[in-house]
Amino acid sequence: MAVRLMFPTYVFHRNLLEYEDDERRGCSKNYLNLLKNEIDQIRTNDPEGRRISNAYTGWQSHDIIQDHPAFQKLMRLIVQTVNDEILPFHALDKKHWKVDMGNSWANINDKTAWNKPHLHNGCWYSGVFYIKADGDEGDLVFIDRDTKVVADFPPSARTPCSFNFTPQPGELVLFPSGAMHMVEPNLTNKDRYSISFNLVHEFRGKDIRSGGQHKDWNPDEFVFDIDPQGNPIF
């Protein structure tokens, strides 16, 4: 029997520390320490911050990170990654399409802090970059809003209602702005540092309809058979 994935949500992720020797794709632990110190200074200057999705004790800066000198390298890495890899994935020619950083803000999630379920309206892709995290301060959770089954059924790992990303230093996660997500409560005594951001895209061609068409696209790229045990055959 064939199985078809009809409406996948594409989430892109990479740990930039794995490419610290490649200035085009990565960064170092020393750079992350510098960014943490800059966020501490921003919080000192603005201890109240703002409240949007952050709840309880979580602190969030205003939209100033995209213009902060210390973060310009990271902004460039994020935009470069999207222009070099996500645009081609969606068959958007870099000659006609360009992605830029829209807005970005810093987050410090201390004990009991969490982020309510939310979307990032008004942009194309959104994301988060983890600056300081041990992995046990609460996961990033994506929530499926499309009801797959409307009757009682045994829980199955292949019909999840949510998907978790465990924070790690240097991890960059990019997702479409319409993906519902939240951050679990931090139940440790440690602070997790991250930045969140929204990306906007601009068309610079004559015919916007020319974008998004893969010449060699196979409509069956997400079709696979299953073996007698019910496992995919790739």
Beta strand 125-132 pairing with 181-183: unpaired
Residues contacting residue 153 through CB under 8 Å, at least 6 positions apart? 159
Element (H, E) at 200: strand 192-203
Would the pLDDT of 126 be above 90?
yes
C-beta of residue 192 within 8 angstroms of C-beta of residue 132: yes
Structural domains of the chain, with CATH: 15-148+155-203 (2.60.120.620)
Task: For 5-52, write each residue's pLDDT tens digit.
Answer: 999 999 999 999 999 999 889 999 999 999 999 999 999 999 999 999
State the Cα–Cα distance between residues 129 and 60, nearest whole angstrom.
14
State the Cα–Cα distance between residues 65 and 42, nearest whole angstrom.
10
Q: Output the pTM of the full model.
A: 0.94
Task: For 56-108, write each residue's pLDDT tens digit.
Answer: 899 999 999 999 999 999 999 999 999 999 999 999 988 888 899 999 999 99
> Averaged over 200-209, what is the pLDDT?
78
Q: Please, is 221 exposed, middle or buried when counting C-beta atoms within 10 Å of its C-beta (0-12, 13-18, 19+)? A: exposed
Residues contacting residue 62 through CB under 8 Å, at least 6 positions apart? 46, 49, 50, 105
